[in-house]
Amino acid sequence: MLHAVTTGLLMWRIMNLTKENFDSSLQDSPLMIVDFWAEWCGPCKKLSPILDELKEEYNLPIAKVNVDDYPELSERYGIRTIPTVLVFENSVIVKEVVGARPKHILLKEFEQWL
């Protein structure tokens, strides 16, 4: 399930996307922010709690793809460096952020969706 309803508000969770649910998850959400990452990636570990904060503070629909588990998804989108965050609107990439960024920079990158 992509979202849960809590106290009358739509509350998004960070979900782990797979090759089986990736396309349907994008179709189910007009906006989706997807973090391509790996367990061994130091910058990915720095970015993850920042994305958690943004999800909580701004109710952003954020999902993750482990590039080691699903290389076909990273290949589909030409992911060569991780972390890479793609913003999808209606299943179309509208923004790409490569590398770990501090929260204040991500806020500027995502400001039109806040």
Q: Read off the tokens for 113.
A: 């969706």
Query: Catalytic site residue 13?
Result: no
**Candidate list 17, 26, 32, 41, residue with the active-site label:** 41
**Candidate list 44, 73, 79, 85, residue with the active-site label:** 44
* DSSP H stretches of helix in the chain: 22-28, 42-58, 71-76, 103-109
Count of beta carbons in the 10 Å neighbourhood of residue 28 = 14
What are the phi and psi torsion angles at 109 (to 5°)? -60, -35
Query: Catalytic site residue 44?
Result: yes
Enumerate the active-site residues.
41, 44
